[in-house]
């Protein structure tokens, strides 16, 4: 009876469920001022700080959007902007200690989800799933990872 859903929709369902769970975990840990979009941006940051354009590019959002998100994150004390020593125009967005307290929570929930999925599917199917999804990046990810020969 369950009609055949498009593959992309199946992905959407699962990935949204994961997002929601991580978001909830963070909320329940007391970080109630973080939004989903802000969290997503933070997950794309490098440990030593990232440029705004890099974040925008990586998240496939406009620079203005990234600016707005970083503004709010900064006001809430999760990130700070420091000058980029290698380029006077640029600034690096860096985690504050507050952010460093959130990240493990998000990562832990992420790991829990991954484990549950693996338990539900079995190791083999989970590996196949990851394999297929990874291969699909070659045709779906604008930040195509370097073709590993």
Partner DNA sequence: CAATCTAGTTCGATCATAGAACTACCGCAA
Partner DNA sequence: TTGCGGTAGTTCTATGATCGAACTAGATTG
Which residues of the chain form contacts with a copy of itself (CB under 8 A)?
A: 1-2, 5-19, 60, 110, 113-114, 116-117, 120-121, 125-126, 128-141, 145-146, 148
Q: How far is the CB of 108 from a copy of itself (least distance, A)?
A: 12
**CB-count burial class (<10 Å; 0-12, 13-18, 19+) for 66:** buried
Residue 76 touches which of DNA, a copy of itself, none (Cβ within 5-8 Å per kind)? none
Q: Are 21 and 39 in contact (CB under 8 A)?
A: no
The 60-79 contact track toward DNA, x by CB under 7 A, reads xxxxxxxxxxxxx-------
Residue entry with tokens 């507050």: 98
CA separation, residue 25 to residues 22, 71, 98 (Å): 5, 23, 16
Residue 10 touches which of a copy of itself, DNA, none (Cβ within 5-8 Å per kind)? a copy of itself
């Amino acid at each position: 009876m369950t009609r055949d859903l498009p593959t992309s929709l199946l992905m959407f369902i699962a990935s949204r469920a994961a997002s929601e769970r991580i978001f909830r975990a963070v909320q329940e840990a007391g970080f109630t001022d973080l939004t989903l979009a802000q969290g997503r941006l933070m997950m794309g940051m490098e440990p030593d700080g990232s440029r705004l354009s890099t974040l925008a590019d990586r998240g496939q959002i406009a620079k203005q959007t990234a600016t707005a998100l970083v503004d709010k994150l900064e006001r809430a004390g999760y990130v700070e902007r420091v000058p980029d020593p290698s380029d006077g125009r640029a600034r690096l967005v860096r985690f504050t200690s507050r952010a460093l307290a959130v990240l493990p929570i998000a990562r832990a929930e992420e790991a829990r989800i991954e484990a549950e999925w693996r338990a539900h599917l079995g190791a083999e199917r989970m590996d196949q799933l990851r394999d297929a999804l990874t291969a699909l990046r070659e045709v779906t990810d604008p930040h195509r990872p370097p073709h590993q020969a």
